[in-house]
Homo-oligomer: A and B are copies of this chain.
Amino acid sequence: MFDLTESLTRAKNARAAMAAASTEAKNAFLLDLAQRIMAESGYILEKNREDLENARLGGMREVMLDRLALSQERLGGIADAMKSLAGEADPVGVVTGGGTMYNGISMTKKTVPVGVIAVIYEARPNVTADAGALCIKSGNVCVLKGGKEAFNSNKAISEVMKKSLAAVGLPPEAVCFIEDNSRETTARLMREDRFIDLLIPRGGAGLIRSCRENASMPVIETGTGNCHVYIDASADIDTAVKILENAKTQRISVCNTCESLLIHKDVAELALLPIGEMLSAHGVEIRGDEAVRAVLPFAVEATEEDWGTEYLDKIISVKVVGSVGEAIEHINRYSTHHSEAIVTSDYESAERFLSEVDSAAVYVNASTRFTDGGEFGFGAEIGISTGRLHVRGPVGLKDLVTYKYLLRGNGQIRQ
C-alpha cells in the first residue's frame, strides 16, 4: 500500500545529501543510468507493452499511442540524453554575486538546489527519465507523478533510476515515484508544501489551471501554448506562407506550434489564397471569422472559444485584423504567453510587436517552433514556462536552482 506522507518524508530526508552531492557523483549517476536503461531495456519494454495493451483496450487514439510507445531506439535516445546531460555544467555552487560590504563583511551569493521538486506530467514515459535526470543533476530530489496511461513504463524507469542512484552512492529516495493514480492523491500532493518546494506541471490547460488554483507551493507552469502568427500588411507573402507552414504543420501536437493566425486586412485576400491551399494540403481545418470565410468558403465558422483554444491537432483559427495594434491586443488577450511571431517588412511594426506582445518569446520573421531549450542553446529542458516569475520560456538546469547569501564577518554588529 502506497503511503504518500511516508514517501514524501523519505524524499525530503534525501534533500541534504543531494544538495551536498558532488558534480562527479551526479554525472556518474547519469552515465550509469545511460548504460542501465539499455541493459534493462527488455524489462522496460515489457512494462511499456502492458501500458500499450491497456491503452488500446481503452480506445486510445493512434497519435497518443505513438507518444506512449517506447522502443529500443527511443530508449537509446533517452540514454543519449543522459550522457549529454552529464556533459553539461553543474548549476549548483556557482557564485553569481557578492563583494565586500562597507563594514568589511565578505558576501558571496551562491546557487543552491531548490530542494524537493515535484513534476506532474501526462502521456510520454520519457519525461520520467528527462525530468528526473534534470532534477538530480541540479542537486534536487524529484517527486514524479506521471499519467496513469504510462504507469507501468514510468514505474520501470524510476526503478532503474533508483538503482543508478544507489550504484553511485546517492540516496535512491531522491527519486520518489508516486505509485497511486487516484485524483485524491494528486490533490493531496498539491497541498504538501511541508515536503515539496516547487511544483512543475507539464501538460494541458486543465492540469495547469488545477495546479494554479490548488497548489500551496510555488508553481512553474509549463506546456500550454496557444501561439500566434501575425501576417502584417507589409509582409512578404512567400515568407509568411513558409513560416506559417513550419509553425503549424512541422509538429502538430507540441506547445510551440501555431494555433491561431492573424492577417492584416490589406493582404487578407492575397495571403489567404495560398495559405488556404497550403493548409488544406496538410489536412488542417480552418476556423475563420467572417472576413476569412469570404475568401475561403470552405472554412468553418470560428467561435469565441476558438480564439483561446490550443488544439494540438490539425485545426487552426484564423482572423483578419485592421492593424498591428489590433493584432497585439488580440494576442495579449487570448494567448498563453508562450511564443508569437510577426511576419513583416516594416521596421516600426516589427519593433512595436516585439515591445508590446507580452509573451516569453516574440519573433520577427521566424517560426514559433524555435522556442525550445536545445534550439536556444540551453541544453535539455523540463518544459517551457508560460509563467512570469523565476523563469520564462525554456526551463533548463540553470532554472532548477535558487541561491543564498553567505556572509563571513569578524564580529560586525549593525549600528
| A84 located at the interface, meaning its Cβ lies under 8 Å from any Cβ of chain B in the complex | no
Q: Select one of B239, B387, B402 contacting A392, CB under 8 A.
A: B402
> Which size class do A's interface residues fall under?
35 or more
Inter-chain contact A388/B197, CB cutoff 8 Å: yes
Inter-chain contact A354/B406, CB cutoff 8 Å: yes
| A25 located at the interface, meaning its Cβ lies under 8 Å from any Cβ of chain B in the complex | no
Decide: A366 near B405, CB < 8 A? Known: A389-B389, A413-B246.
Answer: no
Task: Annotate A79-121 by CB proximity to B: 1 below 8 A, 0 otherwise.
Answer: 0000000000000000000010111010100001011000000
Task: Annotate A42-86 by CB proximity to B: 1 below 8 A, 0 otherwise.
Answer: 000000000000000000000000000000000000000000000
Residues of B within 8 A of A363 (CB): 105, 407-409
Task: Annotate A374-415 by CB proximity to B: 1 below 8 A, 0 otherwise.
Answer: 011100000000011110110000000011111111111110
Decide: A390 near B392, CB < 8 A? Known: A101-B370, A361-B404, A408-B364.
Answer: no
| A16 located at the interface, meaning its Cβ lies under 8 Å from any Cβ of chain B in the complex | yes
Inter-chain contact B392/A404, CB cutoff 8 Å: yes
Residues of B within 8 A of A407 (CB): 361-364, 366, 370
Residues of B within 8 A of A193 (CB): 212
Residues of B within 8 A of A370 (CB): 101, 103, 105, 407, 412, 414
| A182 located at the interface, meaning its Cβ lies under 8 Å from any Cβ of chain B in the complex | no
Within 8 A of B (CB), among A358-374: 358-367, 369-371
Which of the candidate stretches A130-138, A165-173, A213-221 sits at the interface with the other chain?
Answer: A213-221
Q: Give residues in A with beta carbon < 8 Å to B.
A: 16, 20, 99, 101-103, 105, 107, 112, 114-115, 193, 197-198, 212-213, 216-220, 236, 239, 242-243, 245-247, 250, 350, 354-356, 358-367, 369-371, 375-377, 387-390, 392-393, 402-414
